[in-house]
Structure 1
Amino acid sequence: MQKIVVIGSSNVDTTLHVENFPKPGETINAHKVSEAGGGKGGNQAVAAAKSAAETIFISRVGEDSYGSWMKEQLAGYGVKTDYVLPTAGVKTGHAYITLNAEGQNDIIIDHGANYSLTEADVLAAKDVIEAADCVIAQLETPLEATTAAFKLAKAAGKVTILNPAPAIKDLPADLLAVTDLITPNETESALLTSLPVAEEADLEKNAAKLHELGVKHVIITYGSKGAYLSSPVFTGLVPAFKVKAVDTTAAGDTFLGFLAGSLASDFSNLHEAARFANRASSLAVQKMGAQPSIPDRASVASALAE
């Protein structure tokens, strides 16, 4: 069994279900409102746990009813929450999602307690980080905490995966130096590299630039087209599975959690792990909600065998 530590965000997702996105200045009606656990960190932790990996989550929630609810939700999916810490005087992070009839979404985040995660929180989890096979982080929590976690992981010879979302223009060199695999989507990659992604041929140029920044393995997720891998063990597009999407909110997070849960420490099975992760993502987008939509490993294996 893989042992994975995820450092990242915990959000409550409030989704407004609409026919079409409103135009600037337009008022529209939502035909449904729903709530579920979310946050890129939380989603990726749930996906890793559902991939059958032992998963420990390091995060911050508010000292409010939502914080307790988030921990219960995560634990219910098999995520270990000993390092999901309450933060006095700050509310739990919240994401406000508008979801249209095509399954596409817009998201606005109120970060809440997520920005309270500190380097000290990470150092308190030193033992579990050093015992993990893989450490995952995103950019919805402070960079100092992520960098500290990755430095601990690399010193112990563990795999580090950075999901640079939401993307920032200039990632710190000391963070990239301890990142084994970076996993932007095409929009995030374009921001990181200052290169366009208008067609598939641009993915190779983006990946080359990310390698220049110091990362050995690159995956650029490319929406319904799949994922572009650039690595010493495999380079090329791993096609997506064609399905009718109803909610894409957790697509990328599901991909990453299942990738980490399947990946060998030497990256030798990167192509196979990415294909498995693509199949998991294809199942997630066919259901509503972020964490509730994430399938378990048996369901993914069965679907892949069809």
Structure 2
Amino acid sequence: MSEQMATPLIVSFGSVNIDVTARARRLPKPGETVHGESYGIMLGGKGSNQAAAAARLAASEGVRVALVGRVGRDDFGARARRELEKFGVDLSPLREDPDHATGVALIGIESGTGENSITVIGGANMAVDESDSVAAEEWFGQTQVLLLQLEIPEVAVLTAAQRVRDAGGTVILDPAPVPNGGLSDAVLGAADIITPNETETGLLTGITPTTAKEASEAAKILQEKNIRRVLIKMGSRGVFWRDGADEGFCQPFVVKAIDTVAAGDSFNAGLAFALAKGQSFREAVCFAAACGALATTRNGAADAAPFYAEVCALIEQQGVR
């Protein structure tokens, strides 16, 4: 591995799921059975989605992407590996758990309204612990940018963040899902960059921003938790960022959105990729915003992630900087 590490390395440490999605005219009521219209089985979990999106950007661009986490020794685990390998994700540090099944999300979608009902069985994801960081120590020691989310236990998140920061890497935290009661100061302080959306910002700060001014106020509250760089994803309103005392706003990209499921994961993957390529923070924010926007133009999660050339074309076309 040492010879390959001459190139920048992005590592995503987080959940790996298989999503089983059923679409029906309407969702069933308790105790009711309805006939569905279609179903799909696909890659899911924020850890694997962000790894896949980053790897799609990194193809032929001199950046390596790896995934740390756990899958079970089952058919869904094998399926997740096959899907991730198609994107070019290095799965060498992904562990197989002999005692827990691969994580599964059972998703019901009402075709007319888009309303959904989701049941997540964490499985091997919830068994991730400090030993996973120990097993991936060599990887974390070479990581330029670490992508973290909150679909694995907190202790594992903290351990990985500390190892990467000790080695001089940058830690990006996607604070999703925000648990009841918010996040501990330890988790917030473990990140170099935090990327909440409006709802998550509201849960973390008490301010649900709809304007750049409100986003600035929320960002200052988060910076008081020892996070230097804050990005607030405001959907179709754009992206607010604050880096120390410097702040700015990336205007929204104009696209025809049909599915927003992949937007957040593609955003974070794009941010990690741009920083690994040496872009300034301001440039990286707008690159990430373009990734998130393009992901809304396709259905699905990992499969909706854009390619590098598409992102560059959108930025050039709309002149957003």
Tell me the residue number matched to 1:130. Answer: 141
Native 8 Å contact 1:6 1:57 kept in 2: yes
SS in 2 for 1:263: helix
Amino acid corresponding to residue 64 of structure 1 in structure 2 = D
Deviation per CA, 1:3-40, whole angstroms, max 9, x where unpaired?
Answer: 11111000112233456777999976543222210110
Kindly state the Cα deviation for residue 272 of structure 1 after the two structures are TM-superposed. Answer: 1.3
Q: Determine whether 1:59 maps to 2:65.
A: no
203 and 29 in structure 1: CA distance in 2 versus 1, 3 angstrom threshold: farther
Tell me the residue number matched to 1:48. Answer: 54
- Alignment partners' CA distance in 1, 2:274 and 2:115: 28
- Alignment partners' CA distance in 2, 1:246 and 1:299: 17
Tell me the residue number matched to 2:18. Answer: 12
Equivalent of residue 203 in structure 2, options 173, 187, 191: 191
- Alignment partners' CA distance in 1, 2:54 and 2:75: 25
> 5+ residue gaps in structure 1?
none
SS in 1 for 2:168: coil
SS in 1 for 2:297: coil
Tell me the residue number matched to 1:118. Answer: 129
> Where do 1:153-232 residues align within 5 Å?
153-168=164-179, 169-232=181-244
Counting matched residue pairs gives: 305
Tell me the residue number matched to 2:4. Answer: none
- Alignment partners' CA distance in 1, 2:112 and 2:287: 27
213 and 289 in structure 1: CA distance in 2 versus 1, 3 angstrom threshold: same
283 and 89 in structure 1: CA distance in 2 versus 1, 3 angstrom threshold: same
- Alignment partners' CA distance in 1, 2:151 and 2:141: 23
Kindly state the Cα deviation for residue 226 of structure 1 after the two structures are TM-superposed. Answer: 2.0
Tell me the residue number matched to 1:286. Answer: 297
Q: Determine whether 1:272 maps to 2:278.
A: no
Native 8 Å contact 1:117 1:145 kept in 2: yes
Tell me the residue number matched to 1:298. Answer: 309
Kindly state the Cα deviation for residue 109 of structure 1 after the two structures are TM-superposed. Answer: 2.1
Native 8 Å contact 1:250 1:291 kept in 2: yes
> 5+ residue gaps in structure 2?
1-6
Q: Determine whether 1:39 maps to 2:45.
A: yes
Amino acid corresponding to residue 154 of structure 2 in structure 1 = L
SS in 2 for 1:95: strand
108 and 227 in structure 1: CA distance in 2 versus 1, 3 angstrom threshold: farther
Native 8 Å contact 1:150 1:175 kept in 2: no
Equivalent of residue 83 in structure 2, options 73, 84, 95: 73
- Alignment partners' CA distance in 2, 1:224 and 1:20: 28
Native 8 Å contact 1:14 1:36 kept in 2: yes
Q: Which moved more, 1:231-240 or 1:270-279?
A: 231-240
SS in 2 for 1:253: helix
Kindly state the Cα deviation for residue 246 of structure 1 after the two structures are TM-superposed. Answer: 1.9
247 and 26 in structure 1: CA distance in 2 versus 1, 3 angstrom threshold: farther
TM-score normalised to the size of structure 1? 0.90
- Alignment partners' CA distance in 2, 1:20 and 1:226: 33
Deviation per CA, 1:64-98, whole angstroms, max 9, x where unpaired?
Answer: 10001101111110101112212123221112333
Native 8 Å contact 2:8 2:276 kept in 1: no
Q: Determine whether 1:245 maps to 2:251.
A: no
269 and 71 in structure 1: CA distance in 2 versus 1, 3 angstrom threshold: same
- Alignment partners' CA distance in 1, 2:104 and 2:208: 31
17 and 272 in structure 1: CA distance in 2 versus 1, 3 angstrom threshold: farther
SS in 2 for 1:14: strand
Deviation per CA, 1:101-136, whole angstroms, max 9, x where unpaired?
Answer: 677766442212110111111111111111111111
- Alignment partners' CA distance in 2, 1:256 and 1:99: 28
Tell me the residue number matched to 1:141. Answer: 152
234 and 36 in structure 1: CA distance in 2 versus 1, 3 angstrom threshold: farther
Higher relative contact order (CA 8 A, sep 6+): 1
What is the CA RMSD across the aligned residues, in angstroms? 2.5
TM-score normalised to the size of structure 2? 0.86
Native 8 Å contact 2:10 2:276 kept in 1: no
